[in-house]
Every structure is written in structure tokens, then in C-alpha cells.
Structure 1
Amino acid sequence: MNKELISDKQGICLITLFITGSTFVLGVGAEAEKDSWLAILLSILFAFPILMIYARLLSLFPKKDLFNILEIVFGKFIGKFISILYIWIAFHLGSLVLRNFGEFIVNVSLSQTPMIVPMIFIISLCVWGIKDGIELLGRWSYFFILVIILLVITGGLLLIPNIDINNIFPILDNGIKPVIQGAFGVFSFPFAETILFCLVFSSLKNSQSPYRVYIFGLIIGGIIVFITSLADILILGEHSYSTLFFPGQHAVSRATIGDFIQRIEIIVSISFLTGGFVKISICLLSSCNGVAKLFGFNNYKFIVTPMALLMLNLSHLIYNSLFEMVDWAFKVWPYYSFLFQVILPITIWIVAEIKHKNLKQLN
């Protein structure tokens, strides 16, 4: 399979956009209500060690992705079985994010449009991007991360008159338990979802690159998620933040300066479109790369379109309503994904360390 090279900066940008993907519209940490900003800070601390495990796996076996590592560590039979699990989680997550995109567009702006239409649009863009490889995604994300940061800063400045600092006080009024619950939710969505980059990052510069990419991606992405979520709470209050389906959209809609700056919700839409494109693309790339490795194909690109169509169908059928989508995202996903984000990576890492040590002794 041809190697596709990306720089550390491009890798950082990809992880940042991946992290910010759906969080711009869905909001995170709502279990903690007014203390959700504390939950986000705590989730970053939770995420740091597990992301270092992801980075360690890539640095132990340079120029290899997780699919290759699994076969090296566990052998072909067990390695392929675990690969199937990761192919599924990548495929499933891509379907969930694609549905997020469809629900957002239909419920916010195109209420008379069949949901399948915007979903076809975004998945078609992803197919085009993936067929040109992760190098194109890397260059694209390197440019658009600047656009996202500019939009976040602009939106934040315009929303200052609508901020009510009392919306976050008193701090820890409901105790620490809701904060820990919220932090667990934010840990699983979106930070620990970056396990998928272990499935596609096989050509970073050197053995230290995975650490650099994951650390800076987590910090930058975490800061953006923290700022946007804190702004939403300060503007909407705890009740609206925890009950609205798309709190970011409602918060930004309140920004007005006189009669000439109004209705700037396009900021949220552009940010979500950009992050959503990257997130779905990485999910699609991960699943296609896994299928290619599973069956010994030399190139994954010829299966991108069939996989994309399957993802589109699953995303269209997976929920019956917006309520069900939000319920799954915040109540089921954290526990469902824990196996793929924490239990399996730690197990793989421990066995990989032993295997790597034995290989070094043999050499």
C-alpha cells in the first residue's frame, strides 16, 4: 500500500478539527449543567494519559498503523478479529456523525428538505477527499484550522454583550458527582474518539511525532471546546444549555450589533461543516484502510465509494428521531465506546510493550 505522508502540523490540525467536529452544535458536558466547563477541564486531564497510550502504540512500531500493530502483537487470527472491531467502530462513528450533520441542517435551516440530501452532499465530499488520500486532508485542515480559530474569536467577541457571568455561579452547587459524570461523557465524546488516528497515522516523521501530534491536538482542540461551551453556558444559562438540542446555534443567534450585524449563525454552520467533514473522512478512511488490510488489498481507494454508500444507508436508518440521536450520543455512547477507547488500547499497549521488549532482546 502506498505511503501517504503528512507533517506533524497537519496531523495536529486534523486532530483539532476532529475533536471540535460535532461539539460545535451538540454541546458537551450537559450532565454537569452550569459546571460543564469544569467537566470539560477534567475530561482533558482524563484524556491525556489515554492519548499518550495511543501515541506510544504508534511510536513503538514506526511506519505502522494499528491494524499492522495488531497482527504483529497478537498474530493473524486474533489481530484480524480485533481489527474487525475497530473497522466497525470507525464505520459506526462515521454514520453517527453523518446523521448529526443531517439532523442539524434539516432542523435548523432546511426543514422542508429530505434529510438524505445534505447527507449525500457531505458524504460525496468525503469520498472525494479520501480518494485523494490523507495528504489532501492534512493540507486542507492546515488551512481551515485558521478559519475555525478566526470564527471562534469573532463569534466570542460579538457575544460579549450577551454574557451573564452569574450563569456559572455558584460553582459545584450540585456537588462533584455531576461534574465527574459530565467529564466521562466529554472524555468519550470527543477526546478518546481520537483512537481512530491510530488506524491511519502510519507515516508521521519520526518516533516522537505521535506524542507531539496528540498532545498539541488535545490542547488546541480542548481549548476550543472549552471556550465555545463556556460561552454557550454564560449566554444561555444552565437550563437552556442542557435541554436545547443545538445550544451553540442558539447562543450565536443572540449576537447583534445594531442593525447591521445580525443572524451570524453561519459561524456555527461553517465550523460544524468543516469539523464534520474531517471527522467523517477520518472515520471513512479508517474503515476502508481496515478492510483493505483485512483482505490483503494493496490499496483501499477502490472500496471508498461502496463503504461510503453503506455508511450513508446506516446513518439514514440508525435513528427514528432527533430525540433518539441525542439520547444515544450522551447516554449510550460513553459506555458503548469504552471498550474501543480504553479497555482494548490499554490491553494492546501492555502486550505490545512485552512484544517490543522481546523483539529488542532477540535483535
Structure 2
Amino acid sequence: MTEPRERISDNQIAFMMVLFEIGSTPLFFLGSKAKQDAWLAMLIAAGFGLLLVYLYIAIQRKEPDRHLIGILRTYFGRLLGSVLGAAYILYFGYESMRNVRDFGELMSQTLLTETPLAVTMLIVVLIAAYGILKGAEVVFRLSEFLLPILMISYGILILFLFITDIVHFRLLLPMMENGPGPVLKAAFPDIVSFPFGQTIVFLMFWHLCGENGIPVKATVRAYVSVALFLIFMNALNIAVLGPTLAGISALPFLQSVQLISVANVFERLDVFVTLLIYIGLFMKMIVFYLCAVIGLSQWAAKARNRFVLPVGIVIFAASFLEPNYTYHISFGFNVSLKLFTIFQIVIPAALWIVMLLSKGKPAVRIQ
């Protein structure tokens, strides 16, 4: 079917790349198994993630007018391509569901402590559904408004951490005390999958770019910038709390912010962290939600708006499947991240090989 004609600018792609990759990542201590070398694990994972970005760009360049679901059906045929497309729709929906649950749980812990979890999650899903009904252009315009707020908030918090004099980078030493093994184990596949492998979502949007095609430079610059920021934030959590305390803390960055005290005036800056939770998780959730809707629309050859509310209802209902937040986090890091590499690495690599073997002539051309 023919999708509504939408256009996304180069800046919007770059801003969304930064906003999407940041998400809730700085709030957590990724690579904790590597202890003080967790930032090195993130550095290695970011390098591998950059290779994935180039792989995704190469795939899109072969089919500049199609998104991922259409490309799969084009090169793998109607049957296998449809099966893989359906799997990606479920993947996008599941990722959105995880962010809905994260949003509800973290808001309950930090700001809306008396508000029922279901109410918080229902509101965020309804807001996202409204945005998606307005189209991808509106969703991507949000990034231009929200990214400056996000970066200013992080900047203020980081500045106050240094002013309070609780940042001690000596806690990052010794480097690779137990060799490179723990660093590599922390990087692969967990940090590669979250957050860097999640850039697979842009294969659903690059075809909406202008006449100049994929904004490769803007995309790569945005990725490198946000990767360096995330590496720094991981190191900052260690430098403030130490590797042991950061590793056992549910929200190490929040705990770090709670230590800020400047002239007995600037204290209790948790509201900034709450703002970061809202912006990061909401934007990540709405992008995955939009991908699921776009994918289902292509897969079923029906108008996109038909699926906005049904997909939202499924995402909201599925967010209650996990009995508690501890199980939610444990399942996500111990199971989901391993499985997600199939969607982020294995299938895209296989797709690229098929595209190369086809020499630009796909086996089955499906409009």
C-alpha cells in the first residue's frame, strides 16, 4: 500500500538519533560485571555499534525508498519475508512495552509515588498514540524541542556534581586489572544490544528523508557524539559512587544526584532526573511504538491509523505480564538482550549478504 507522504529532515534524524540512544541509558550502570572498566566495555560496544550503523546504512542505500519490513519481503520473498517482518513487528512492540513499564515503575519510585502504576502507563501510551496518529513528522519534530531540554538538564547536573567535589576519577583505576576478558564479556552482547544495536529502528525511517537520500554524515556524527556522552556518563557513575556501589544501585545516576549539595541551596535535584526519565523513556517508547505501527501497516497492507490504538492496547496490556520490576529488569538484561542480537545483528547481516548476492536485482519485488 502507499504510505502517507512524509518527510524528515537531516537535523531531525540526527536529533532523534541522539535522543533515542540516550533514552534511559545514563540512569543505569551498564557493564557492571567489568567493575571500574565498565566504561571501557561501553567504548568497545560503541565501536561495534558504529559498524552496525554502517551496515544499516548500506542496507538502506540499496533500497532508498523502502523501510525494513518492505526490504525483508523484497529480498527474502513473500513467505519468509513476511515471517521475518512479523517477528520485527513483535520485537518493536516488545521494546516499546519494556519502556512503558520502565516509565511507570521509575515515575512511581521518583515522583508519582501515590499514583497507581496502571494510570501512569495508560497516560503515557495515550499520549504516544496521539502523537503517532499525527504521523512520523510530528514525532520527529518533538526531538528538536526536547533534545535541548535534555542536554541542558544533564549539563546542569554534571556541573553540580563537579562543583560538589564528589567526582573522583581515580576510582576508574586500575584499568583492566583482570585482563580484557571481563571487559569483552560485559560489552558483548549486552551493551552492544542495549543501547547501540537499537539503532536498527532507523531502517524504518531513513526512507522518509529528503531528495538527498540518507543523511550519512549527520547520522554518524550524531551516533559518535551520543556514544561519547554515554561512555562519559558510565565513567561518571563510577567516579562518584565507585564500581561496587554503582553496581548494586538500581538507579546509580539518581543516587549520585542525591549527593549534590552546593552552598546548602542547590539540593534535592531529583526533579531534573525525573525530567530526564520522562523525556528519554517516552521518546524511546514512542519510536518503537511507531515502528510497530508502520511495520504492521506494511505487513497487512492497510492504512496506518487503523493500527495505532490496537497496537497501543497490546503494548499497555503486555506491560503487566511481568509480575514485578525486579523480574522485569532481570529478564531484560539476562534474556532479552541476548535474543535481540538476532534482530540487530544476525538478520541484518544475512539481509546484506542476500542483497550483495542479488547484485542489485532482488529475488522478489513486492510493492
Asked if the contact 1:60/1:356 (under 8 Å) is kept, the reply is no
1:195 corresponds in structure 2 to 200
- 2:365 is aligned to none
1:277 is aligned to: 282
For 1:207 and 1:187, locate their aligned partners in 2 and report how far apart those are by CA, in whole Å. 30
Aligned length: 358
Q: Which residue of 2 aligns with 1:303?
A: 307
Rounded Cα–Cα distance in structure 2 between residues aligned with 1:165 and 1:256? 19
Counterpart residue identity of residue 94, structure 1? S
Establish whether residue 291 from structure 1 lines up as the match of residue 296 from structure 2. Answer: yes
Point out 4+ residue stretches in structure 1 off by more than 3 angstroms.
Answer: 109-112
**Kindly, what percent of the aligned residue pairs are identical?**
24
Task: Give the CA deviation at 1:217.
Answer: 2.9
SS in 2 for 1:209: coil
Report the residue type matching 2:327 in the other structure.
E
Residue identity matched to 1:242:
G
After TM superposition, the structure 1 = structure 2 runs for residues 48-67 of structure 1, keeping only pairs within 5 Å, are: 48-67=50-69
Deviation at 1:39, TM superposition (A): 1.0
Query: CA distance change for structure 1 residues 103 and 66 in 2, over 3 Å: closer, same or farther?
Result: same
Give the match for residue 312 of structure 1: 316
Rounded to whole Å, the distance in 1 between the matches of 2:231 and 2:277 is 16
1:212 is aligned to 217
The question of 1:239 aligning with 2:244 is answered yes
Structure 2 Cα separation of the partners of residues 132 and 358 of structure 1? 35
8 Å CA contact retained: 2:197, 2:344 = yes
Report the equivalent of 2:180: 176
Amino acid at match of 1:106: S
Q: Equivalent residue for 2:360? A: 357
Find the counterpart in structure 2 of residue 331 from structure 1: 334
* Offset at residue 213 of structure 1 (A): 4.4
- Counterpart of 2:132, as a letter, is I
CA–CA distance in structure 2, aligned partners of residues 96 and 26 of structure 1: 15
Residues 118/9 of structure 1: CA separation in 2 closer, same or farther (3 Å cut): same
Which residue pairs with 1:69 in the alignment? Answer: 71
Contact 2:104 2:120 in 1 (8 A): yes
Partner of 1:31: 33
SS in 1 for 2:104: helix
Instruction: Report the Cα distance in structure 1 between the residues aligned to 2:17 and 2:295, rounded to whole angstroms.
Output: 19
Deviation, structure 1 residue 198: 1.0
CA distance in 2, matches of 1:101, 1:175: 37
1:137 aligned onto 2:142: no
Letter in 2 for 1:176: P
**What CA distance in whole angstroms lies between the structure 2 residues aligned with 1:11 and 1:46?**
21
Measured after TM superposition, the shift of residue 226 of structure 1 is: 1.6
Instruction: Report SS of the residue matched to 1:46.
Output: helix
Q: Structure 1 CA distance, aligned partners of 2:181 and 2:319?
A: 33
What are structure 1's unaligned runs of at least 5 residues?
none
Q: CA deviation at 1:111?
A: 3.4
* Cα distance in 1, alignment partners of residues 344 and 197 from structure 2: 6
Q: Give the structure 2 partner of residue 259 of structure 1.
A: 264
The aligned amino acid for 1:59 is R
Cα RMSD between the aligned structures?
1.7
**Which AA in structure 2 matches 1:177?**
G
- How far is 1:26 from its partner? 2.8
Structure 1 residue 220 displacement after superposition: 2.2
